Amino acid sequence: MALVNLHEAGPAPLTSRLSVGRLLAAAEAAAPVEAVDAVAEALTELVGAEQVSFLIADFSGDSLIRLGQSAAGAATRHKGAETGERVALSGTPHGRALASQSVQVVGDADGACVYAPVTSRGEAVGVLELRLRNGADEQTVADVTEAAHALAYIVIASRRYTDLYEWGQRSVPLSLAAEIQHRLLPGSYTCESAQFTLAAWLEPAGEVGGDTFDFSLDRGTLHFSITDAMGHTVNASLLATLLVGSIRNGRRRGCDLVEQARLADAALAEHAGELQYVTGQIGCIDLVSGTARIVNAGHPLPLRLRDGIVDEVPLSACRPFGLADDSTYSAQVLPLTPGDRLMFITDGLLERGAAGLDLRAILESSRGDHPREAVQHLIQAATAASGGKLADDGTALCLDWHGGPLRARDATAGAGPVP
Phi and psi dihedrals of 238, rounded to 5? -70, -40
pLDDT higher than threshold 60 for residue 395: yes
Q: pLDDT tens, 335-349?
A: 999 999 999 999 989
For residues 344-357, average pLDDT:
86
- 184 alpha carbon, distance to own chain's centre: 14
Say what the pLDDT of residue 113 is. Answer: 94
Residue 387: which pLDDT band, with cuts at 50, 70 and 90? confident
For residues 253-279, average pLDDT:
93
Looking at every residue in the chain, the average pLDDT score rounds to: 88
| CA–CA dist 116, 191 (Å, integer) | 20
Which domains does the chain carry?
A: 2-169 (3.30.450.40), 176-417 (3.60.40.10)
Q: pLDDT tens, 112-128?
A: 999 999 999 999 999 99
Of 29 and 231, more confident? 29
Q: pLDDT tens, 245-262?
A: 999 999 999 999 999 999
| CA–CA dist 162, 154 (Å, integer) | 13
pLDDT higher than threshold 70 for residue 5: no
- 229 alpha carbon, distance to own chain's centre: 21
pTM: 0.89
Out of 11-15, 118-122, 269-273, 290-294, least confident range: 11-15
Q: Give the residue among 126, 131, 161, 134 at the shortest CA–CA distance from 35.
A: 161
For Cα atoms 61, 63, 67, give the angle at the middle one, nearest 5 degrees: 120
Residue 62: which pLDDT band, with cuts at 50, 70 and 90? confident
pLDDT higher than threshold 70 for residue 73: no
**Helices 20-29, 35-47: crossing angle, 10 deg rounding:** 140
Say what the pLDDT of residue 193 is. Answer: 93
Q: Terminus-to-terminus CA distance in the chain, angstroms?
A: 37
Tell me the residue length of the chain: 419
**Are 155 and 118 spatial neighbours (Cβ–Cβ below 8 Å)?**
yes
Residue 137: which pLDDT band, with cuts at 50, 70 and 90? confident
- Give Cβ neighbours of residue 219 (< 8 Å, ≥ 6 apart): none
Bridge partners (DSSP) of residue 328 are none
For residues 186-199, average pLDDT:
95
